[in-house]
Chain A
Amino acid sequence: MARVVVDVMLKPEILDPQGKAVHGALPRLGVEGVVDVRQGKRFELEVEGELTEQRLAQLHDIAERLLSNPVIEDFEVHVA
């Protein structure tokens, strides 16, 4: 078994109201000095058998077509 991790983040130019809300909560918890918070998504894909180049390419395609929306998000694929 292999684990492939896909991280998806809103593009820098897209405002992130969720991150902003989290950021706004920090001072109330006494945390100072955090200048920005961006919230993203992490997908963990458990893959059977050997992780071939072909398999990885397929998962990369899924990350691009399904797990992220290229209009508003960037993604990264890691083998954990």
Chain B
Amino acid sequence: MSGLRVGVVTFPGSLDDVDARRAVTLAGHRAVPLWHRDHDLQGVDAVVLPGGFSYGDYLRCGAISRFSPLMSEVVAGAGDGLPVLGICNGFQVLCESHLLPGALVRNQAQRFVCRDQRLRIEGTGTPWTQSFTPGQEIVVPLKNGEGCYVADEATLDELEAEGRVVARYLGPDPNGSMRGIAGVSNARGNVVGLMPHPEHAVEDGFGPGLDGLGFFTLVEALASSAYRV
């Protein structure tokens, strides 16, 4: 079977790496396990940083993972246009790595949130969201304790103006995120961070549906490698 080779990074404390690999496989690609201590991306076409509690969330979520050997490769690859998707803890790692603006702090309501969450996909100009239509509403699981997205007003305005808010929460804001932001991309669009978990909504009988699969299809990247230099 053709398809891309999509790396899924495992950090100590990663939780959803196996689910992410499964989602990649169900989307028709080959999942390549990557280890945080290696200095080698193994030539993958795209990278997923999965959810979990890397390094026990010590110091700050994602703060220690950022300095892992593999992350220096991911940062370099992202600079060359490598598609990178960070989910939940992966989103936190991307913010700590300064690949994405802003930060994720403790939920305003001081509670861990775990529920099926309705989202609106807004930015579809990224390899991870291009299979959706702008404005499409989807439902995927959300589970986080520190998922409140914050950034200064100027950064938020810039994200909105450039269409870099890729997903927004619908209904009551589950964690206090500014402007209901559930996911953002970098300026180029190849790096996306998402607090909810599309990898848990890719298979009949598990999770709220199949809405998450669209994040892993990577259609255009497959067709043209448009996001690589």
Contacts and interface: CB of A to CB of B under 8 A. Distances in A.
Interface of A: 10, 13-15, 17-18, 20-21, 66-67, 69, 71-72
Contacts of A17: 106-110
B63 A69 contact: yes
B7 interface: no
Interface string B138-176: 000000000000111000000000000000000000001
Interface string B59-92: 1100100010000000000000000000000000
Decide if the interface of chain B is mainly helix, strand, loop or mixed: loop
Contacts of B122: none
The size class of the interface chain B forms with chain A is: 10 to 19
Interface of B: 59-60, 63, 67, 95-96, 101-103, 105-110, 150-152, 176
B59 A71 contact: no
B63 A72 contact: no
Contacts of B150: 14, 71-72
B27 to A, nearest CB: 32
B105 A14 contact: yes
Given A71-B102, A72-B103, A72-B150, A15 B63 contact: no
B153 to A, nearest CB: 10
A17 B150 CA distance: 13
Contacts of B96: 69
